Structure 1
Amino acid sequence: MKIIVPMAGRGSRLRPHTLTVPKPLIPVAGKPIVHRLVEDIAKILKEPIEEIAFILGDEAFFGEDLVKSLEELAQSLGAKASIYRQDLPLGTGHAIMCAKDSLSGPAVIAYADTLIRADFELDPAADAVIWVKQVDEPEAFGVVKLNERNEIVELVEKPMDFVSDLAVIGIYYFKEVGDLKKELQNVLDNNIKNGGEYQINDGIKAMMANGKIFKTGSVDEWMDCGNKNVTVETNSRMLGFLYNDGKHLVDFGVQSENATIIPPCYIGENVVLKNATVGPNVSLGNGCVVENSTIKNSLIQNNSTIKNANLDNAMIGNHVTFDGNFKNISIGDYSILE
């Protein structure tokens, strides 16, 4: 089994946090999004992963530190890491075809801006599986249309009229991903674009037209990391899941003076808490200092100092100094507000 991870996007909706750090490396509950996604998929598949192909953007932003991190991630799962580049933002289909040398055999394709909780078995009768989640407002999503045999027969983007309430979450399985490669090559060769880009959906629709059977897979939880508010919410939900699973989330070396930790919280190494209340639903990265502050429902990355603050629904980057009385804030790396 292979895992293909397109992750070349710059994460503009999550700025300023993605001005200095690629979105897939933003930590959620103490672990980068892409690490958590790939590890969870590998656990769900319950079979060996031979290769993980990562499609990155330009080297200036997606540099060697990221490549090393991804290689270590693949190695930890007993897999080979393959690194590809998508230098121009030409769509999801184009991104996948940047990894065409890895597009053979069974594979899962997963976009690195979503996290899931699931437990399922792959349907042996299906040529491909598209994972979906039932949603309340299907008109805001891409959805699948099913026939009487519960096979997917159509993909509809943000339907004005009701088609179904099963939203596509951006994770796909192909029994032979080479079939998708063949159809996407045809999309590229014939310059078939939607919204000015080459889309994975056009390759999938061609597979359906050629008789390939697509089934749905369902997930228990689908968590987005597209913008600041939903990323903070995802951090809170993931902390709750990990806490209920019995995971130890608070480093034993936390230096605490007149401080209270209300679970669930993730607290990294070399953190100092003084006259502080932290939690619930807070992630504090390595090397953070929190003094004379109350923090809840927030995500704070590494080596940041928070003083005299009352934070709720906040997201703070790396190496930030914040001294103030604002609650709902979003501060990027290396900022100072005193």
Structure 2
Amino acid sequence: MKALVLAGGKGTRLRPLTHTSAKQLVPVANKPVLYYGLEALRDAGITSVGIIIGDTGQEVRDAVGDGSRFGLEVTYIPQDAPLGLAHCVLIAKEFLAEEPFVMYLGDNFLVGGISDLVDAFRRADHDAQILLTRVAEPQFYGVAELGSGGEIIRLEEKPEHPRSDLAIVGVYIFSPAIHDAVKAITPSARGELEITDAITWLIDNGFRVHSHMVSGYWKDTGRLQDILECNRIVLEQVEPEVNGSVDGLSEVTGRVIIEQGAVVENSVLRGPIVVGANTKITSAYLGPFTSIGSDCVVANAEIEYSIVLDGSSVVGVSRLARSLIGRNVEVTSAAGTPNTHELMVGDHSKIKVRA
């Protein structure tokens, strides 16, 4: 079995961050979201992976390389424009050949992996197996309607009146039959080849399409609040580890990771927190569910429930919460502006906020 990982797309819901960075490489607990998916594929016993790349393809190539660091063999498949998930299958035909494959959306975050899904597909005689989860607002998702045996009998994309609360998660397994399906469908009203249309074609033509329920936690990380929630989930599971230096004036409690070369001086850190390599924390407060990247500076500032990416500085600011700070950003104090801070800041920005 092979895997097809989708790491293209525009990431419009995370702009301005994704104007200059791949949405799949936004870090959760200082590790890119894409890495979690690649590790899940490896842990499920899949080693041959094709990665669909778009405008941010070089960044993805630089981050993943040949895949050996994950125990994978990676092939890159460029997509000239984001023309739909089914189009990704169409252009990957040569790589996929006649093998069954997992299709994994690279910006999905799934706790618990996909080994159960892969094992179930291998045991069964299905042409497609679709990962589903129950959601509170199914009208915002692709929704599946099931038969009595767990087979999928109908799919609807963001229906006004959903027939179920079962949302389609961005993980699928297909037999080679999907290649006929993607060739048979036509673009949707938005000009894309929709994977839901291809799956519907399979159903209408008598192929076996079955469901599989998410056993762990799942999020589509396309929005700020989703990234922060995933960060919280991962940090809740970390074990404390101090490889940097902490002076005697600092208070570090709870699950806190301080990576090599990081320095903490005269500060309060209340975990769960991760502080990246070569970062300096001085006279600061870091509250729960905060990830600070590598080579950052946090001084005379208060941050909680936030993510700060590599190379950024936050100085003289209180208090930042529910924020995503991009790479190489400077956030400093400035008198006279409103004393409230909720930021999603793009790369190479300079922001002044009231101390």
Q: TM-score, with normalisation over the residues of structure 2? A: 0.86
After TM superposition, list the pairs within 5 Å mapping 1:59-78 onto structure 2. Answer: 61-63=56-58, 65-72=59-66, 74-78=67-71
Shift of 1:254: 2.2
Write the distance in 2 (CA, Å) between the matches of 1:139 and 1:307: 42
- 1:226 maps to 2:222: yes
Distance 1:35-1:159 versus aligned 2 partners, 3 A rule: same
Compute the TM-score of the two structures, normalised by the length of structure 1. 0.90
Do 1:6 and 1:96's aligned partners in 2 also have CA atoms closer than 8 Å? no
Aligned pairs for 1:1-338 (under 5 A) are 1-43=1-43, 45=44, 47=45, 49-58=46-55, 61-63=56-58, 65-72=59-66, 74-103=67-96, 104-118=98-112, 120=116, 121-123=119-121, 124-125=123-124, 126-174=126-174, 176=175, 178-187=176-185, 191-219=186-214, 220-243=216-239, 249-309=257-317, 310-324=319-333, 326-338=340-352
- The 1:112/1:173 distance shift into structure 2, 3 A limit, reads same
Shift of 1:243: 4.8
Cα deviation for residue 62 of structure 1 reads 2.3
Preserved CA contact (<8 Å) 1:118 1:218: no
The SS at the match of 2:237 is helix
Q: Secondary structure at the match of 1:53?
A: strand
Residues 224 and 234 in structure 1, CA contact (< 8 A), matched pair in contact too: no
Q: Retained in 1: the 8 A contact 2:38–2:70? A: no
Aligned-partner SS, 2:267: strand
Distance in structure 2 (CA, Å) of the matches to 1:337 and 1:77: 37
Are the aligned partners of 1:113 and 1:226 in contact in 2 as well (CA < 8 Å)? Answer: yes
For residues 77-103 of structure 1, what are the alpha-carbon distances to aligned partners after superposition, in whole Å with 9 as ceiling and x for unaligned? 332211111112221211221212122
Paired letter, 1:329: L
Distance in 2 of aligned mates of 1:148 and 1:90: 34
Q: Offset of 1:327 from its aligned partner?
A: 2.1
Q: Say if 2:53 and 2:60, in contact at 8 Å, map to a contact too.
A: no
Structure 1 residue ranges without an equivalent (≥5): none
Using a 3 Å threshold, how does the CA distance of structure 1 residues 256 and 141 change in structure 2: closer, same or farther?
same
Question: Offset at 1:166?
Answer: 0.9
Residues 290 and 118 of structure 1, relative CA distance in 2, 3 Å threshold:
same
Q: What's the secondary structure of 1:18's corresponding residue?
A: helix
Deviation at 1:332, TM superposition (A): 1.1
Partner AA of 1:203 in structure 2: A
Give secondary structure in 2 for the equivalent of 1:160: coil
Q: Retained in 2: the 8 A contact 1:55–1:98? A: no
One-letter amino acid of the structure 1 residue matched with residue 168 of structure 2:
V
C-alpha separation in 1, matches of 2:255 and 2:181: 43
Contact 2:255 2:271 in 1 (8 A): no
% identity of equivalent residues? 31
Query: Amino acid of the residue matched to residue 77 of structure 1?
Result: F
Q: C-alpha displacement at 1:233, in angstroms?
A: 2.2
CA distance in 1, matches of 2:18, 2:276: 21
1:194 shift after superposition? 4.3
The C-alpha deviation readout for 1:110-165, integer Å capped at 9, x for no partner, is 11121011362424223321111111122222111111111111111222334111
Other structure's SS at 1:76 match:
helix
Secondary structure of 1:253's aligned partner? coil
Choose 148-157 or 290-299, whichever is displaced more: 148-157
One-letter code aligned to 2:342: N
Q: Deviations over 1:35-82 (max 9, x none)?
A: 112212332x2x2x2311111114xx422x43132234x212332211
Deviation readout 1:1-26 (Å, 9 max, x if unpaired): 21111221111110111111111111
RMSD (Å) for aligned C-alpha atoms: 2.1
More RCO (CA 8 Å, sep 6+) = 1
